[in-house]
Amino acid sequence: MIDAISFDQNRIKYLDQRFLPLKETYVDTNDYLSAIEAIKTLAVRGAPLIGIVAGYTVVLAVQNYEGKKKDFKAYFTKIIAEVEASRPTAVNLFYATARMKAVFNNHFENSQLPEFNELILKEARAIHEKEIQNCEDMARFGVEQIKKDLGHILAERKLNVLTHCNTGTLATGGLGTALGVIKKAYQEGLINCVYTAESRPLLQGLRLTAWELEQEQIPFFSHADSSSGILMQRGKVDFAIVGADRIAANGDTANKIGTFNHAVLCHEHGLPFYIAAPLSTIDTTIPDGTHIPIEERNGDELRSIYGRQVATASTPVVNYAFDMTPAKFIRGIITETAALSADYVQAINSAFESSNSATVGSSC
């Protein structure tokens, strides 16, 4: 059983994903700055998990406050700003801080500090529990969609699926988003084999998705990101499903760098390309994907492979952590309320209406 994240006795405990699959190292801390560092360095990662950790990070900071109530507002504003500066693309982080700010705005004035601490903790736990439940619901809707769209192939044989990055328990604390759909589809006898793209430069596919699939005993191959074309050309892939870090109001989707390439290749080969993501990953405050902030990370991540330097320190590189796939390449967006299809503007609006979830964005 993978224990990606837990919070107990005022301490956050997480599995440090930088060392997987070669070393399983658990870290526990009550220092909110260490928790922020864990987000920045990708010791914890994946949009829903980043949101969960952001919530618990605020809890740690609030619990460690030793000043007077009258000075608390300035402290709270500072820690929210620090958490929000950790990673820019996954909107789940801002969704979590917006919920923490709402607890402050609604309850701080009329509460004593210990009571306020309890309310903040309760909210962080609610975010965590909801993301676990979201995974179960996405898996159910995703499997239904696959049966509907690919029933003609399923009538003859099981399916081969391609995925990118890591979207499983490590990225969500629950079953997973895209990988949750794959796990459930496998349990239901729909999947023959998973192709997991390595996801350069930090190798979340090769290291983390492979590790999860191995534990689940699901047959898979890892492949270089650049091999997706030939795999599709040779008929080895029936569909692709990936997660998301931020989805705009029109369905344009930011996800791990390389996702766009897979989507275009699916389009070229007439293969369905799906996104699986909870509503907490949808940012309706931005009309389309051109407004999504795309994180650029240190070039050393590219100049080295798994910690070993392979290019000179002076080699100029570009290192975007995410890319943006236009909605026109996406066959469906699997959420916890339904599998959405184009027109996404309308479908996303209805999904929020039916869930009563508040949407938040980078403007929060």
Using CB under 6 A, list all residues that contact ligand MRU.
Answer: 42, 45-48, 90, 165, 167, 171-172, 177, 204, 242-245, 255-256, 321
Please, are residues 19 and 25 in contact by the beta-carbon 8 Å criterion?
yes
Catalytic: 245?
yes
Backbone angles phi, psi at 54, to 5 degrees: -60, -45
**Whole-number Å distance between alpha carbons of 11 and 14:** 10
Neighbours of 230 (CB within 10 A): 11
* Min dist. Cβ of residue 85 to ligand MRU (A): 16
Cα→Cα distances 97→143, 244, 357, Å: 32, 19, 15
Backbone angles phi, psi at 86, to 5 degrees: -75, -50
Q: Based on CB atoms, which residue is closest to ligand MRU, 184 or 256?
A: 256
Backbone angles phi, psi at 309, to 5 degrees: -70, 130
* Min dist. Cβ of residue 87 to ligand MRU (A): 7
Q: Based on CB atoms, which residue is closest to ligand MRU, 47 or 360?
A: 47
* Min dist. Cβ of residue 180 to ligand MRU (A): 8
Q: Based on CB atoms, which residue is closest to ligand MRU, 57 or 116?
A: 57
* Min dist. Cβ of residue 46 to ligand MRU (A): 4
Active-site hit among 149, 245, 252, 323: 245
DSSP three-state, residue 27: strand
DSSP three-state, residue 234: coil
**Whole-number Å distance between alpha carbons of 214 and 218:** 6
* Min dist. Cβ of residue 10 to ligand MRU (A): 26
Nearest position to ligand MRU, beta carbon = 243
Which residues, including other chains, have CB under 8 Å from residue 54's CB and lie 6 or more apart? 39, 83, 86, 92, 93, 96, 97
Q: Based on CB atoms, which residue is closest to ligand MRU, 87 or 103?
A: 87
Q: Based on CB atoms, which residue is closest to ligand MRU, 246 or 331?
A: 246
- Catalytically active residues are 245
